[in-house]
Amino acid sequence: MNVFLATLNPMLVLFCCIIIGFVLNKKHLLPENGHTVLSKLENYVLVPALTVNTFMNYCTVDSLATHGKAILLSFAAVLVAIGIAYLLAGRFEKDAYNKNIYRYAIAFGNFGFMGNAIVPAILGEEMLYPYMLFTLPLNVGVYTWGLTIMVPKGEGKKANPLKNLLNPVVVGMLIGILLGLTGAKAYLPAFLSTTIGNLAACMGPLAMVLTGFVIGNFPLKALLSKKRVYLVTALRLFVLPAFFVGLLWLLGADKLTLTLCLFAYATPLGMNTVVFPAAYGGDTTTGASMAMISHTLCVITIPIMYALFNIVVH
């Protein structure tokens, strides 16, 4: 119960930020394109700042060697996740494009925006670095296979996996690794380090405000009426995290790696299932329904899963 309550508090903080974003939209306190502005601010400034800040403070040769096995296990888990996505997606949707939306939702949760926010809040700031290393293979999967399958047929020329990999988050990671490994971080002006740290601190709350704002574009009744979304949400929040923690346990992962795996795979369904259909004129209702239902329920499910994890894994 202590673990549950300690985990519930930061989840409620983030949920309040989602509510704020929802209200901002419904009350028209921000322009209609507010989600575009917030998304660009997150992707081009705040998440890269968080990545630079984390890696320049914690990345060393020894730490990379220490977490090398966890990264390899994470790559194996990603391959299994993609296989499961192909196996199960057809049971939720028959339309070819919407089937790919479900494939993405089954394979990847919101391990970036949500995961990067809850891990330091629940586990401590120092745990964000190993978490980002663990989720590096998930980022590779998202920016190659994941984003490619969500581009409708006939638009394939717009999806370049190699170009997708060279994004602001990866660039921020490379800069942080360089500063950390070389020790150049010590020579950064104090005002610059403080600026990066302050921007990094904004990432989590604003990401949740963005989530609420996007959900606010849709009528709640329509989002709540999709029964299949509840099934895929149950998979995302309960079944898949338990499965992958068990899989990595069988592969010899230590408790730290299992903990990181739990948080990476217990996160709710991400926003790309809304962003990409919108970008190509597709139906965004399913993706928005996934985001709203899973982000609401994860406030309770993540504390439950983490509490159960601490009972089972010693």
Nearest to 276 by CA among 124, 140, 143, 115: 143
Q: Does domain 2-312 correspond to CATH entry 1.10.260.40? A: no
> Would you state the structure tokens that stand for residue 27, as one six-digit string?
């009350």
What is the Cα–Cα distance from 19 to 199, expressed in whole angstroms? 22
Angle, vertex CA 262, rays to CA 175 and CA 289, nearest 5: 90
Q: What pLDDT, on the 0 to 100 scale, is given for residue 217?
A: 83
pLDDT value of residue 96? 77
Residue range 153-169: mean pLDDT, rounded: 66
Domain segments of the chain as ranges: 2-312
- pTM value is 0.87
DSSP 226: -
pLDDT at 280: 64
State whether residue 160 is helix, strand or coil: coil
pLDDT of 219:
83
Q: What is the pLDDT of residue 154?
A: 57
Q: Which band of pLDDT confidence, cut at 50, 70 and 90, is reported for residue 281? A: low
Instruction: Encode pLDDT of 90-140 as tens digits.
Output: 888 787 778 888 999 999 999 988 899 999 999 999 999 999 999 999 988
DSSP-assigned letter for residue 157:
G
Span 180-228, pLDDT tens digits = 999 999 999 999 999 999 999 999 899 889 889 888 888 888 778 778 8
